Amino acid sequence: MWSYLSLLPVILALWAIAGIWLVSCITFHPVFAIAVANRSVDLKKGFPFIRLLWLKGLGGAGREKNQKGAHMAGAFLAFILGNLYFWLQFLLSWIKGLPQPGPRWVKLLRLSFCVISTILIVASILPRE
């Protein structure tokens, strides 16, 4: 009864996780390239990927303040449009002619997740004291 397309979300999630780790751990960061060129890092002893991971994390720490417009556009796409997609999935689960995967309680679980995420998004947008 399950088609291979039902595995697509799992495959895409695993692919995204692998891509993040691949970019974070293996990509040659400019500081790492300079360290290899200066011979302060010996690649024959092993690959020091923990240092590259920390540098990437520290490099991205100041982006929210320096690139506020890009940060807000990304947050809009991730949270607001993602939440609209969740609501669309919830509404499609109530249409009678469409196939209904899973038991009945899945609809209530989707509704609760949609309501909770909407409340949290609205709470994050409201001005604070």
Same domain, 56 and 70: no
Question: In sequence order, what are the residues at sequence separation of 6 or more whose Cβ sits closer than 8 angstroms to the Cβ of residue 49?
Answer: 25, 26
pTM of the full structure: 0.49
Q: What is the pLDDT of residue 117?
A: 93
Task: State which residues form the domain around 116.
Answer: 64-129
Same domain, 40 and 100: no
Domain boundary among 12, 39, 61: 61
Q: What is the pLDDT of residue 45?
A: 76
The answer to whether 110 touches 86, Cβ cutoff 8 Å, is yes
Rounded distance, CA 107 to CA 126, Å?
A: 29
Domain boundary among 61, 83, 102: 61
- Which ranges of the chain have pLDDT less than 70? 1-2, 21-33, 47-66, 129
Same domain, 104 and 50: no
Domain boundary among 61, 78, 106: 61
SS (H, E, C) 39-86: CCCCCCCCCCHHHHHHHHHHHHHCHHHHCHHHHHHHHHHHHHHHHHHH
Same domain, 91 and 30: no
Same domain, 84 and 26: no
Q: What is the pLDDT of residue 116?
A: 95
Question: In sequence order, what are the residues at sequence separation of 6 or more whose Cβ sits closer than 8 angstroms to the Cβ of residue 71?
Answer: 63, 64
Same domain, 46 and 71: no
Rounded distance, CA 87 to CA 112, Å?
A: 11
Rounded distance, CA 21 to CA 74, Å?
A: 20
The tokens for 109 are 């679980």
Same domain, 32 and 49: yes
Same domain, 75 and 57: no
Count of domains observed in the chain:
2
Q: What is the pLDDT of residue 99?
A: 77
Q: Which of 123, 63, 116 is nearest to 87 (CA)?
A: 116
Q: What is the pLDDT of residue 111?
A: 92
